[in-house]
């Protein structure tokens, strides 16, 4: 009999009851049940080593378990998964009357480092836009409208920072000729004013003129298609963008519509825009969502100092190798 089995048997089969509930009431798959079993058997062994059981364990026992996992070098995401299993287990014991309290309810999860958004440099965006502009200018025949559409999409996206779903779903008449701003409805039905650059306005005007000549003249969408929605899909735009990135000499995996939205925000902050203004432009309900871009700038400054400051370790190493 394995240690895990001994731990399970010694604690009255509560784990089996919990797994049966997951299977019967939630329809958990076999792989899911196996993952829960592994995590909880490990936790039960931790309790047993401290002469506790799932019926006598306290919040301190759970904290000690998570701290031990951290000392072993377990990633925050893995510790969060283990805590989730423990929380659900104790919640089950409490609901079933097998415990009079839920010690896991007061445990805070490990803080996961928030990944910094991927962005392109100003030079990369300029190159991407220029290649798209040139492609639209050189295209002829049936490819002319498609090339103009992609260039218009890119100019609009970088000029406004729209979410890709907002961009592809723009109605035809939303961008009025010569108007420097337009209103878009974003998440939660919230409306916001979006400014346009001169380049974006020209790209829209040229594209709409072509659109009016073809079979899409009567479509209510700015970027119509034959799909179910009646307008270009996010996926199709993403595919075309990656092809254009390759043509511009940029690794396609670095580029997506969301990456250009990130670039819009980061480049504004680099040039002195305040966080509240960028929040409004992006349509974020909470400024904490926008603050991730300040971390991008901080990381860039840190790298700048490391690479160029005369007293930085990295620069000293580079000099010593010469």
What domains lie within the chain, and their CATH numbers?
A: 3-106 (1.10.150.130), 122-290 (1.10.443.10)
Whether 231 is catalytic: no
Whether 258 is catalytic: yes
Q: Report the share of the chain in percent with pLDDT over 90.
A: 56
160 touches 194 (CB < 8 A): yes
Spatial neighbors of 205 by CB under 8 A, at least 6 apart, are 177
Q: How far apart are CA 8 and CA 41, in angstroms?
A: 7
Whether 284 is catalytic: yes
Burial of 123 (0-12, 13-18, 19+ CB in 10 A): exposed
Burial of 94 (0-12, 13-18, 19+ CB in 10 A): middle
pLDDT of 247 strictly over 80: yes
Whether 65 is catalytic: no
pLDDT of 43 strictly over 70: yes
Write down the catalytic residue from 37, 82, 133, 163.
163
User: Taking all residues of the chain, what is their mean pLDDT, rounded to a whole number?
Assistant: 85
Q: How far apart are CA 19 and CA 85, in angstroms?
A: 11
Which pTM value belongs to this model?
Answer: 0.60
pLDDT at 256: 94
Radius of gyration for the chain, computed over Cα atoms and rounded to the nearest angstrom? 28
pLDDT of 301 strictly over 60: no
Whether 261 is catalytic: yes
Write down the catalytic residue from 258, 280, 300, 315.
258
Beta-bridged to residue 184, according to DSSP, are 192
Mean pLDDT of 273-300: 77
pLDDT of 142 strictly over 90: no
Which 8-state DSSP code applies to residue 191? Answer: E
Write down the catalytic residue from 55, 187, 254, 276.
187
Whether 293 is catalytic: yes
Its sign, for the CA torsion 283, 286, 288, 294, is positive
**Helix or strand run (H / E) with residue 210:** helix 198-213
Spatial neighbors of 6 by CB under 8 A, at least 6 apart, are none
Burial of 127 (0-12, 13-18, 19+ CB in 10 A): middle
């Amino acid at each position: 009999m394995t240690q895990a089995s001994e731990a399970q048997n010694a604690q009255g089969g509560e784990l089996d009851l919990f797994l049966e509930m997951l299977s019967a009431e939630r329809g958990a798959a076999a792989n899911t049940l196996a993952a829960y079993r592994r995590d909880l058997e490990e936790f039960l062994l931790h309790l047993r080593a401290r002469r506790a059981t799932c019926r006598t364990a306290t919040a301190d026992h759970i904290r000690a378990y998570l701290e031990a996992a951290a000392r072993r070098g377990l990633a925050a995401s893995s510790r969060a998964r283990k805590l989730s299993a423990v929380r659900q287990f104790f919640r089950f014991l409490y609901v079933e009357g097998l415990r009079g309290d839920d010690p896991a309810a007061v445990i805070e999860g490990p803080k996961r480092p928030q990944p910094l958004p991927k962005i392109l440099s100003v030079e990369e965006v300029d190159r991407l836009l220029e290649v798209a502009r040139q492609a639209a200018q050189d295209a002829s025949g049936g490819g002319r409208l498609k090339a103009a559409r992609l260039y218009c999409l890119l100019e609009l996206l970088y000029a406004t920072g729209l979410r890709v779903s907002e961009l592809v779903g723009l109605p035809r008449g939303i961008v009025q000729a010569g108007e420097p701003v337009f209103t878009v409805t974003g998440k939660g039905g919230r409306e916001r004013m979006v400014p346009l650059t001169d380049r974006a306005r020209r790209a829209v005007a040229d594209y709409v003129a072509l659109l009016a000549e073809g079979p899409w003249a009567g479509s209510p969408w700015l970027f119509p298609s034959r799909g179910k929605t009646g307008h270009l899909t996010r996926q199709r735009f993403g595919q075309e963008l990656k092809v254009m990135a390759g043509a511009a000499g940029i690794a396609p995996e670095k580029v997506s519509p969301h990456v250009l939205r990130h670039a819009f925000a980061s480049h504004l902050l680099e040039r002195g825009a305040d966080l509240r203004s960028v929040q409004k432009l992006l349509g974020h309900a909470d400024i904490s969502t926008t603050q991730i871009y300040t971390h991008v700038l901080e990381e860039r400054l840190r790298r700048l100092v490391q690479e160029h400051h005369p007293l930085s370790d990295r620069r000293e190493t580079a000099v010593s190798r010469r």
